[in-house]
């Protein structure tokens, strides 16, 4: 019998990524492209391989719009933790943290900025720009497709290091040139991480000047906002204002509000997002399906304490006057600062990763419990731990409301992403479990979403937001 297609996926329940109701169909594939989708049983030709999809769902490969696998994909290109979830495309460079650009002057600072979140600190950085990084990715041959944002924090670090001051006119020109070059070389957008030094030093004007470059090429701006706690709504407004000023599409990264005193504010943030869309701003969100978040423990420090980089920070933590100032900030707060210690408390901040052998017993404990085990108050315990670990401490924070999460998940403009960190230790389960959890708990078990809507939000919707052609749908011409 003459082979007519390479692959026939026969009789599956096709959830095609559009959000339309599922249907039984045969999917015909030649090479790596879908060539036709016909009613089940209607294809009567031959195939090199036949997969019987009866009693199975056939869907597009999932797009993880919020990944931090920038370096993991080079060191572990098999990408098992994502492939096992159905993810076939990862979008890296999130939260203002990317591995490009890199300048010779500040290469060490660029690596110091990125590796607490991205991990793999021993990996040699053999590139300086998007072209070089993507060439290195191609050489590694990862099992998933890779697209990258370029982080505004990384751009700033490449030009000014960890200097908290306002960039000079020439430095701003240099930053604009780096942003434009990255987008020209194929970056799918720009991202910000406004809680991470040096990105936290960026003003609205500085951000907007850079995001104008994204607007010129129709690329997306995604923001890990300045404050997800007491200043949450003001931070949403700032993100939307960037879109208003520049015309760029904007994305609220991991859309959530932290701290029980702030729960419920998602209703207002979604109203702001909808109003922005009514005003012509292409605004959306991404979210992961957990009530706990995860980041570096240094993100608990006020921005001024991080100025000058790691060495300067550690010196401050060892200085009695500076320690007292940090502890006072945790109590009294600062303007436009996401003070997690005040909003969720030490009982809800858990140690997820340390480097030294002597502190491994602390992993999995809350800061409050760990401090009691060492007979010291939580504030001094944490500052001492950061010194002992050279700042390399990870955390998991139990911070969010189930009702808020469900509202964001159900919003039509939401995409799903994992935001999983790969710095070691005991990682947040979102790294390995985001997509199965959505389909299991929120589709099958609780009916919060339909299968069709959930699949749309993890396939065609993120692909459209990012301008990724040929993926995200089970339709002729799309990637298989």
CATH number reported for the structural domain that contains residue 77 in this entry: 3.20.20.140
Tell me the CA distances in angstroms from 474 to 14, 60, 260, one per residue in order. Answer: 8, 6, 41
**Is the same domain home to 82 and 133?**
yes
Same domain, 205 and 239: yes
pLDDT at 213: 98
Overall pTM > 0.85: yes
Note the pLDDT of residue 334.
Answer: 87
Q: Does residue 469 fall inside a structural domain?
A: no
Q: Tell which residue, 126, 124, 100, 129, has the closest CA to residue 113.
A: 100
In a domain, 475, yes or no: no
Final residue before a domain boundary, out of 398, 413, 447 = 398
pLDDT digits (tens, 9 = 90+) for 340-379: 999 999 999 999 999 999 999 999 999 999 999 999 999 9
In a shared domain, residues 127 and 93:
yes
49 and 184 housed in the same domain: no
Which parts of the chain sit beneath pLDDT 50?
A: 1
Q: Are residues 446 and 385 in the same domain?
A: no
Residue of 48, 65, 66, 158 lying closest to 114 (CA atoms): 158
The answer on 265 and 382 residing in a single domain is: no
CA-CA distance, 194 to 169, in Å (whole number)? 21
Looking at the structure, do residues 142 and 174 belong to the same domain, yes or no?
yes
Residue 1 has a pLDDT of: 40
Inter-residue contact 282 to 214 (CB < 8 Å) = no
pLDDT at 125: 97
Q: What pLDDT does 3 receive? A: 64
| Domain range for 26 | 5-58
**104 and 181 belong to one structural domain:** yes
- Same domain membership, residue 99 and residue 52: no
Residue 477 lies in a domain: no
- Number of folded domains that form the chain: 3
- State whether 200 and 117 are in the same domain: yes
| 285 and 349 belong to one structural domain | no
Inside any domain, residue 480: no
Give yes or no: residues 182 and 246 share one domain.
yes
Give Cα 63 distance to the centre of its chain: 12
């Amino acid at each position: 019998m003459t082979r007519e297609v390479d692959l026939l996926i026969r009789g599956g329940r096709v959830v095609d990524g559009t959000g339309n109701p599922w249907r039984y169909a045969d999917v015909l594939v030649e090479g790596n492209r879908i060539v036709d989708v016909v009613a089940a049983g209607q294809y009567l030709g031959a195939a090199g391989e036949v997969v019987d999809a009866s009693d199975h769902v056939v869907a597009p490969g999932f797009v993880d719009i919020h990944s931090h696998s920038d370096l993991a994909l080079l060191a572990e290109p098999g990408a098992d933790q994502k492939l096992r979830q159905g993810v076939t495309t990862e979008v890296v460079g999130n939260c203002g943290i990317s591995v490009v650009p890199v300048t010779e002057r500040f290469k060490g600072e660029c690596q110091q900025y990125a590796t607490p979140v991205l991990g793999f600190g021993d990996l040699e950085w053999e590139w300086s720009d998007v072209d070089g990084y993507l060439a290195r990715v191609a050489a590694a041959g990862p099992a998933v497709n890779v697209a990258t944002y370029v982080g505004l924090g990384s751009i700033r670090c490449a030009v000014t290091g960890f200097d908290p001051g306002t960039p000079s006119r020439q430095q701003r020109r240099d930053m604009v040139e780096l942003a434009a070059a990255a987008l020209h070389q194929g970056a799918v957008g720009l991202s910000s991480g406004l809680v991470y030094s040096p990105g936290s030093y960026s003003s609205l004007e500085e951000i907007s000047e850079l995001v104008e470059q994204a607007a010129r090429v129709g690329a997306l701006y995604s923001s890990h906002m300045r404050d997800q706690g007491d200043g949450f709504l003001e931070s949403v407004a700032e993100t939307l204002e960037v879109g208003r000023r520049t015309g760029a599409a904007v994305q609220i990264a991991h859309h959530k509000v932290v701290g029980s005193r702030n729960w419920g504010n998602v209703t207002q943030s979604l109203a702001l997002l909808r109003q922005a869309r009514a005003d012509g701003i292409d605004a959306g969100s991404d979210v992961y399906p957990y009530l706990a978040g995860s980041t570096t423990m240094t993100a608990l420090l006020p921005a001024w304490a991080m100025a000058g980089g790691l060495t300067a920070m550690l010196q401050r933590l060892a200085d009695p006057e500076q320690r007292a100032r940090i502890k006072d900030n945790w109590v009294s707060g600062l303007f436009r600062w996401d003070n997690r210690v005040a909003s969720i408390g030490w009982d809800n901040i858990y140690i997820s990763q340390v480097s030294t052998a002597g502190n491994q017993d602390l992993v999995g404990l809350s800061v409050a419990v760990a401090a009691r085990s060492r007979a010291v108050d939580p504030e001094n315990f944490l500052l001492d731990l950061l010194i002992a670990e050279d700042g390399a401490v990870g955390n998991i924070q139990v911070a969010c409301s189930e009702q808020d999460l469900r509202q964001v998940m159900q919003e039509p403009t939401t995409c799903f992403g994992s935001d999983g960190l790969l710095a070691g230790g005991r990682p947040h389960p979102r790294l390995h479990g985001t997509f199965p959890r959505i389909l299991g708990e929120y589709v099958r078990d609780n009916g919060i979403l339909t299968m069709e809507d959930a699949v749309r939000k993890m396939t065609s919707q993120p692909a459209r937001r990012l301008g990724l052609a040929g993926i995200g749908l089970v339709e002729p011409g799309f990637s298989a």
